[in-house]
Structure 1
Protein backbone atom coordinates (compact mmCIF):
# COMPACT_ATOMS: atom_id res chain seq x y z
CA UNK A 1 0.00 0.00 0.00
CA UNK A 2 2.82 2.41 0.84
CA UNK A 3 4.41 1.84 -2.58
CA UNK A 4 1.19 2.84 -4.34
CA UNK A 5 0.82 5.92 -2.16
CA UNK A 6 4.43 6.90 -2.87
CA UNK A 7 3.92 6.55 -6.64
CA UNK A 8 0.71 8.60 -6.55
CA UNK A 9 2.54 11.22 -4.52
CA UNK A 10 5.41 11.32 -7.05
CA UNK A 11 3.00 11.75 -9.95
CA UNK A 12 1.16 14.47 -8.04
CA UNK A 13 4.43 16.27 -7.31
CA UNK A 14 5.43 16.16 -10.98
CA UNK A 15 2.03 17.41 -12.11
CA UNK A 16 1.99 20.16 -9.48
CA UNK A 17 5.42 21.40 -10.55
CA UNK A 18 4.43 21.39 -14.22
CA UNK A 19 1.14 23.15 -13.50
CA UNK A 20 2.77 25.72 -11.22
CA UNK A 21 5.53 26.53 -13.68
CA UNK A 22 3.16 27.09 -16.58
CA UNK A 23 0.80 29.08 -14.41
CA UNK A 24 3.68 31.34 -13.34
CA UNK A 25 4.89 31.73 -16.93
CA UNK A 26 1.49 32.38 -18.51
CA UNK A 27 -0.90 33.35 -15.71
CA UNK A 28 -3.34 30.82 -17.18
CA UNK A 29 -4.93 27.87 -15.40
CA UNK A 30 -5.67 26.33 -18.80
CA UNK A 31 -2.01 26.37 -19.86
CA UNK A 32 -1.01 25.06 -16.45
CA UNK A 33 -3.45 22.19 -16.91
CA UNK A 34 -2.05 21.45 -20.37
CA UNK A 35 1.44 21.21 -18.94
CA UNK A 36 0.31 19.02 -16.07
CA UNK A 37 -1.92 16.64 -18.04
CA UNK A 38 -1.48 16.68 -21.81
CA UNK A 39 2.32 16.60 -21.98
CA UNK A 40 2.68 13.59 -19.61
CA UNK A 41 -0.09 11.72 -21.46
CA UNK A 42 1.71 12.18 -24.76
CA UNK A 43 5.00 11.09 -23.16
CA UNK A 44 3.39 7.98 -21.69
CA UNK A 45 1.72 7.14 -25.01
CA UNK A 46 4.87 7.56 -27.11
CA UNK A 47 7.56 6.37 -24.69
CA UNK A 48 6.98 2.66 -25.46
CA UNK A 49 7.90 3.35 -29.10
CA UNK A 50 11.16 4.95 -28.01
CA UNK A 51 11.92 2.16 -25.55
CA UNK A 52 11.12 -0.49 -28.18
CA UNK A 53 13.56 1.11 -30.61
CA UNK A 54 16.36 1.09 -28.02
CA UNK A 55 15.53 -2.46 -26.92
CA UNK A 56 15.92 -3.69 -30.51
CA UNK A 57 19.17 -1.73 -30.83
CA UNK A 58 20.55 -3.25 -27.60
CA UNK A 59 19.58 -6.75 -28.75
CA UNK A 60 21.54 -6.26 -31.99
CA UNK A 61 24.57 -4.96 -30.10
CA UNK A 62 26.96 -7.65 -28.85
CA UNK A 63 27.85 -5.72 -25.70
CA UNK A 64 26.15 -3.07 -23.66
CA UNK A 65 28.71 -0.33 -23.94
CA UNK A 66 28.73 2.87 -21.96
CA UNK A 67 28.40 4.75 -25.24
CA UNK A 68 25.17 2.94 -26.08
CA UNK A 69 23.74 3.60 -22.62
CA UNK A 70 24.71 7.27 -22.82
CA UNK A 71 23.18 7.59 -26.30
CA UNK A 72 19.93 6.06 -25.03
CA UNK A 73 19.76 8.50 -22.10
CA UNK A 74 20.51 11.48 -24.33
CA UNK A 75 17.85 10.28 -26.77
CA UNK A 76 15.32 9.90 -23.96
CA UNK A 77 16.08 13.41 -22.69
CA UNK A 78 15.71 14.86 -26.19
CA UNK A 79 12.47 12.91 -26.65
CA UNK A 80 10.95 14.45 -23.51
CA UNK A 81 12.22 17.90 -24.40
CA UNK A 82 10.79 17.84 -27.93
CA UNK A 83 7.39 16.70 -26.68
CA UNK A 84 7.32 19.39 -23.98
CA UNK A 85 8.29 22.12 -26.46
CA UNK A 86 5.76 20.87 -29.01
CA UNK A 87 2.86 20.76 -26.52
CA UNK A 88 3.63 24.19 -25.10
CA UNK A 89 4.17 25.65 -28.57
CA UNK A 90 0.85 24.19 -29.69
CA UNK A 91 -0.85 25.61 -26.59
CA UNK A 92 0.72 29.06 -26.55
CA UNK A 93 1.98 29.68 -30.07
CA UNK A 94 5.33 30.68 -28.57
CA UNK A 95 8.43 28.65 -29.28
CA UNK A 96 10.34 30.65 -26.67
CA UNK A 97 7.75 29.90 -23.98
CA UNK A 98 7.63 26.25 -24.96
CA UNK A 99 11.41 26.00 -24.81
CA UNK A 100 11.61 27.83 -21.50
CA UNK A 101 9.01 25.54 -19.93
CA UNK A 102 10.74 22.45 -21.35
CA UNK A 103 14.05 23.54 -19.81
CA UNK A 104 12.78 24.80 -16.45
CA UNK A 105 10.42 21.94 -15.58
CA UNK A 106 13.10 19.22 -15.41
CA UNK A 107 15.38 21.57 -13.47
CA UNK A 108 12.62 22.13 -10.91
CA UNK A 109 12.06 18.37 -10.70
CA UNK A 110 15.76 17.78 -10.02
CA UNK A 111 15.69 20.38 -7.24
CA UNK A 112 12.37 19.53 -5.58
CA UNK A 113 11.89 15.77 -6.00
CA UNK A 114 14.87 14.66 -3.85
CA UNK A 115 13.17 16.41 -0.91
CA UNK A 116 9.95 14.61 -1.74
CA UNK A 117 11.73 11.25 -1.94
CA UNK A 118 13.62 11.87 1.31
CA UNK A 119 10.34 12.59 3.10
CA UNK A 120 8.99 9.25 1.87
CA UNK A 121 12.18 7.47 2.96
CA UNK A 122 11.77 8.88 6.49
CA UNK A 123 8.12 7.76 6.51
CA UNK A 124 9.10 4.25 5.39
CA UNK A 125 11.87 4.08 8.03
CA UNK A 126 9.42 5.16 10.74
CA UNK A 127 6.91 2.58 9.59
CA UNK A 128 9.58 -0.16 9.56
CA UNK A 129 10.58 0.74 13.14
CA UNK A 130 6.95 0.51 14.27
CA UNK A 131 6.56 -2.89 12.60
CA UNK A 132 9.76 -4.23 14.18
CA UNK A 133 8.73 -2.92 17.62
CA UNK A 134 5.29 -4.51 17.26
CA UNK A 135 6.90 -7.83 16.27
CA UNK A 136 9.19 -7.79 19.35
Structure 2
Protein backbone atom coordinates (compact mmCIF):
# COMPACT_ATOMS: atom_id res chain seq x y z
CA UNK A 1 0.00 0.00 0.00
CA UNK A 2 1.28 3.49 -0.85
CA UNK A 3 1.11 6.39 1.57
CA UNK A 4 2.73 9.21 -0.40
CA UNK A 5 4.18 9.98 -3.85
CA UNK A 6 6.07 13.14 -4.81
CA UNK A 7 9.13 14.56 -6.53
CA UNK A 8 12.21 15.34 -4.42
CA UNK A 9 11.59 15.17 -0.68
CA UNK A 10 8.69 13.39 0.95
CA UNK A 11 7.25 15.22 3.90
CA UNK A 12 5.46 13.16 6.53
CA UNK A 13 1.78 13.14 5.54
CA UNK A 14 -0.45 15.39 7.61
CA UNK A 15 -3.28 12.93 7.15
CA UNK A 16 -3.69 9.48 5.63
CA UNK A 17 -4.54 9.25 1.92
CA UNK A 18 -8.26 9.43 1.17
CA UNK A 19 -8.23 5.86 -0.09
CA UNK A 20 -5.99 2.87 0.30
CA UNK A 21 -3.72 2.79 -2.72
CA UNK A 22 -2.62 -0.61 -3.92
CA UNK A 23 0.25 -1.40 -6.27
CA UNK A 24 0.38 -3.78 -9.22
CA UNK A 25 3.83 -4.54 -10.66
CA UNK A 26 3.60 -4.95 -14.44
CA UNK A 27 6.69 -5.79 -16.49
CA UNK A 28 4.85 -5.00 -19.76
CA UNK A 29 3.76 -1.47 -18.76
CA UNK A 30 6.11 1.27 -20.03
CA UNK A 31 4.92 3.78 -17.44
CA UNK A 32 3.76 4.32 -13.91
CA UNK A 33 0.00 4.68 -13.68
CA UNK A 34 -1.88 6.22 -10.77
CA UNK A 35 -4.87 8.31 -9.69
CA UNK A 36 -5.61 10.98 -12.33
CA UNK A 37 -5.33 14.00 -10.02
CA UNK A 38 -1.95 12.88 -8.66
CA UNK A 39 -0.54 11.98 -12.08
CA UNK A 40 -1.66 15.36 -13.45
CA UNK A 41 0.16 17.20 -10.65
CA UNK A 42 3.30 15.05 -11.08
CA UNK A 43 3.36 15.77 -14.83
CA UNK A 44 3.03 19.48 -14.13
CA UNK A 45 5.81 19.38 -11.50
CA UNK A 46 8.11 17.64 -14.01
CA UNK A 47 7.37 20.20 -16.73
CA UNK A 48 5.47 17.79 -18.99
CA UNK A 49 2.53 18.83 -21.15
CA UNK A 50 -0.97 17.49 -20.48
CA UNK A 51 -0.50 14.96 -23.30
CA UNK A 52 2.65 13.64 -21.58
CA UNK A 53 5.21 15.12 -23.96
CA UNK A 54 8.29 16.53 -22.28
CA UNK A 55 11.60 18.05 -23.32
CA UNK A 56 14.09 15.21 -23.72
CA UNK A 57 16.59 17.17 -21.62
CA UNK A 58 14.08 18.10 -18.91
CA UNK A 59 15.49 18.28 -15.42
CA UNK A 60 13.24 17.52 -12.48
CA UNK A 61 13.54 15.75 -9.15
CA UNK A 62 13.47 12.03 -8.61
CA UNK A 63 10.10 10.43 -7.90
CA UNK A 64 9.83 9.37 -4.27
CA UNK A 65 7.33 6.81 -3.09
CA UNK A 66 6.48 6.03 0.51
CA UNK A 67 4.96 2.71 1.48
CA UNK A 68 4.40 2.55 5.22
CA UNK A 69 7.85 3.32 6.70
CA UNK A 70 9.84 2.43 3.55
CA UNK A 71 10.89 4.91 0.90
CA UNK A 72 11.59 4.11 -2.76
CA UNK A 73 13.13 6.47 -5.30
CA UNK A 74 12.76 6.31 -9.06
CA UNK A 75 15.43 8.48 -10.71
CA UNK A 76 14.05 11.15 -13.04
CA UNK A 77 16.09 9.70 -15.93
CA UNK A 78 14.01 6.49 -15.66
CA UNK A 79 10.83 8.51 -16.22
CA UNK A 80 11.72 9.93 -19.64
CA UNK A 81 10.83 7.78 -22.65
CA UNK A 82 12.56 8.50 -25.97
CA UNK A 83 10.02 7.97 -28.76
CA UNK A 84 10.93 6.66 -32.25
CA UNK A 85 10.39 10.16 -33.72
CA UNK A 86 13.06 11.55 -31.31
CA UNK A 87 10.42 13.31 -29.16
CA UNK A 88 10.10 12.34 -25.50
CA UNK A 89 7.25 11.45 -23.16
CA UNK A 90 7.08 11.23 -19.41
CA UNK A 91 6.35 7.72 -18.14
CA UNK A 92 3.33 8.76 -16.06
CA UNK A 93 -0.22 7.84 -17.05
CA UNK A 94 -3.60 8.16 -15.35
CA UNK A 95 -5.65 5.19 -14.25
CA UNK A 96 -9.31 5.18 -15.26
CA UNK A 97 -11.31 7.05 -12.57
CA UNK A 98 -13.28 3.94 -11.56
CA UNK A 99 -10.09 2.14 -10.46
CA UNK A 100 -8.06 5.09 -9.20
CA UNK A 101 -7.23 3.38 -5.89
CA UNK A 102 -4.59 1.38 -7.79
CA UNK A 103 -1.11 2.22 -9.01
CA UNK A 104 0.63 0.20 -11.70
CA UNK A 105 4.43 0.30 -11.58
CA UNK A 106 5.96 -0.59 -14.92
CA UNK A 107 9.37 -0.23 -16.56
CA UNK A 108 10.54 2.83 -14.55
CA UNK A 109 10.17 0.73 -11.38
CA UNK A 110 12.01 -2.26 -12.85
CA UNK A 111 14.84 -0.01 -14.11
CA UNK A 112 15.26 1.18 -10.52
CA UNK A 113 14.67 -1.96 -8.46
CA UNK A 114 15.38 -5.65 -8.72
CA UNK A 115 12.13 -7.36 -7.85
CA UNK A 116 11.97 -11.03 -6.85
CA UNK A 117 8.68 -12.92 -6.66
CA UNK A 118 7.91 -15.97 -4.51
CA UNK A 119 4.82 -17.46 -6.11
CA UNK A 120 4.24 -20.10 -3.43
CA UNK A 121 3.93 -17.52 -0.64
CA UNK A 122 2.51 -14.63 -2.69
CA UNK A 123 5.40 -12.43 -1.54
CA UNK A 124 8.00 -10.34 -3.28
CA UNK A 125 11.28 -8.70 -2.34
CA UNK A 126 12.80 -5.49 -3.60
CA UNK A 127 16.44 -4.44 -3.89
CA UNK A 128 18.30 -1.72 -5.74
CA UNK A 129 19.02 -2.45 -9.38
CA UNK A 130 22.65 -1.99 -10.41
CA UNK A 131 23.24 -0.96 -14.00
CA UNK A 132 26.14 -2.86 -15.53
CA UNK A 133 27.62 -1.44 -18.72
TM value normalised by structure 2: 0.21
Which structure: greater helix fraction?
A: 1
TM value normalised by structure 1: 0.21
Which structure: greater strand fraction?
A: 2
Q: Which has the larger Rg?
A: 1
Q: Which has the higher contact order (CA 8 A, sep 6+)?
A: 2
